[in-house]
Structure 1
Amino acid sequence: MTTIPVTDLLGSLRSGNSTAPRLTWYGPDSERVELSGRVLDNWVAKTSNLLQDELDAEPGMRLRLALPAHWKALVWALAGWQVGLETVLDGGPADFLATDDPAGAVEQHDAVIAVALPALAMRWTGELPAGCFDYAADVRSHGDVFMPHSDPDPSACAVRTQEGRIIRHRELISGFALPHTEGARLHIPADKGLESALANALGAWQQDGSVVLTHPDVALTGKLLADERIHGS
């Protein structure tokens, strides 16, 4: 089996200190979501299985993430990479589109997945365009363990950045992730965008760290910093 950096990273998240917080999200209306390494890997596995088994995704296909910096967007990026997909962040063409605004997008992609952002959403609120998949309603039925049908190609494109820079799967950690100190508890402001959130989160997780991602409407108070043990934010 061919491994790529994200496969090794997910393995470390679920097999190391798997109950420790790895991803904490602060959203509007006092929303707080905390995912341990095991739970984060679980979400990624379910999403990868949805891509592979329900949408027939294969290595080399393209996944566009039209999502804000949000914990579910990080899950989608990790899932796409685990399947071997190219994550498109520059708005370019793609086979699949994961979006929180699916209206009018169905004709442009093989599959459009509507991603409801509220943590407790069990389904999309309101009507969806014909042929659009409901992530919240569909994802929980998929398996907690991902077994790839095909090995990803380490030399294939993993990320196409907003500037059009190509990062290959084998370079995700060395060429895309930002360096952080061992065990860092890193604050990531969502208003810096999804690309920044992904690069920072990968770098922190690679160093056995964790991240706190905050919505732009969330005030970064001294109490929040102290409660989350964030240093140097």
Structure 2
Amino acid sequence: MSIPAIELMTTLRSGHSTSPRLTWYGPEAERVELSGRVLDNWVAKTSNLLQDELDAAPGMRVRLDLPAHWKSLIWGLATWQLGMEAVLEGADADYLVTDRPPSSKGNYDAIIAVALPALAMRWPGELPAGAIDYASDVRSHGDVFMAHADPAASTCAVHGHDGQRHLHENLLDSFAASHEEGVRLLVPAADGLEAALANSLGAWQSGGSVVLAHPDVELTDHLLATERIHGS
């Protein structure tokens, strides 16, 4: 049985292939816009990195130690597409994905360092021994994802900050926030990664799109009008 995250990626890839699905406003005038097809390509590349390079499999756990950011949403979607669990609180996981890599691997099978600047082609500076440079490595992976193993809908998809767990089969019902059909949703990054993931899932499943804004970005009337933001 296909899990909701896989069905969502199919919808974004086919039903909204050319229209914007995720727009990021970051510091220093960063603006990144991903159509459904481009969003799916990033998620596929990240899923392939996990599966092919790191031997990730359904049921394994990924600690997402990241702020709310467009790359963080990519990682959430890739984790779920593989049938893995996104750990948003605590350190007990198979993999650590972070923008502040520790000096040693600890108990993780792998540490993936994520450089947040939009144009980063590699991690700035030296990485700890054994850490994987996401910006550099992800580009070599394929744009299409084919799972090696079928994920189980009854396994955990999210371990949230309140300790609450959500299963893959309930991801779009119990975890995703409810939003109106076709919403162009403003998601403040200051609300944190869990809120960004839940709100983005809710917007996408209703056929909408997301504008994710860094806390340093001034949300002017001009910006809101330009992005046609009309719901929350």
TM-score range, shorter chain: over 0.9
1:146 alignment counterpart: 145
2:34 alignment counterpart: 35
Q: Is the 8 A contact 2:157 2:171 kept in 1?
A: yes
2:201 alignment counterpart: 202
2:211 alignment counterpart: 212
Q: Please identify runs of 4+ aligned residues in structure 1 that moved more than 6 A.
A: none
Distance change in 2, residues 1:105/1:166 (3 Å):
farther
Equivalent-residue separation in structure 1 for 2:172 and 2:86 (angstroms) = 15
Q: 1:134-189: CA deviations, max 9, x gaps?
A: 00000010011000000001000000000110100000001100010110000000
Equivalent-residue separation in structure 1 for 2:118 and 2:10 (angstroms) = 25
Q: 1:42-99: CA deviations, max 9, x gaps?
A: 0000000000000000101000000000000000000011111110001231000100
Question: Does residue 193 of structure 1 match 2:186?
Answer: no
Instruction: Output the amino acid matched with 1:209.
Output: G
**1:106 deviation in Å?**
1.6
* TM-score, normalising length: structure 1: 0.98
1:6 alignment counterpart: 5
Question: Does residue 62 of structure 1 match 2:84?
Answer: no
Q: Is the 8 A contact 1:116 1:136 kept in 2?
A: yes
Equivalent-residue separation in structure 1 for 2:75 and 2:231 (angstroms) = 28
Distance change in 2, residues 1:105/1:89 (3 Å):
farther
Q: Is the 8 A contact 2:183 2:231 kept in 1?
A: no
2:132 alignment counterpart: 133
2:109 alignment counterpart: 110
* TM-score, normalising length: structure 2: 0.98
**1:105 deviation in Å?**
4.7
Identity fraction in percent: 68
Q: Secondary structure at the match of 1:8?
A: helix
Equivalent-residue separation in structure 1 for 2:152 and 2:231 (angstroms) = 37
CA-based RMSD: 0.8
Equivalent-residue separation in structure 2 for 1:181 and 1:86 (angstroms) = 27
Equivalent-residue separation in structure 2 for 1:187 and 1:106 (angstroms) = 36
Q: Secondary structure at the match of 1:117?
A: coil
**1:107 deviation in Å?**
1.9
Q: 1:183-227: CA deviations, max 9, x gaps?
A: 000000000000000000000000110000000000110010000
Question: Does residue 98 of structure 1 match 2:69?
Answer: no
Equivalent-residue separation in structure 1 for 2:231 and 2:181 (angstroms) = 14
Gaps of 5+ in 1: none
Equivalent-residue separation in structure 1 for 2:29 and 2:105 (angstroms) = 33
Figure out how many residues of one structure are paired with residues of the other and give that number: 232
Instruction: Output the amino acid matched with 2:151.
Output: P
Q: Is the 8 A contact 2:184 2:231 kept in 1?
A: no
Instruction: Output the amino acid matched with 1:74.
Output: L
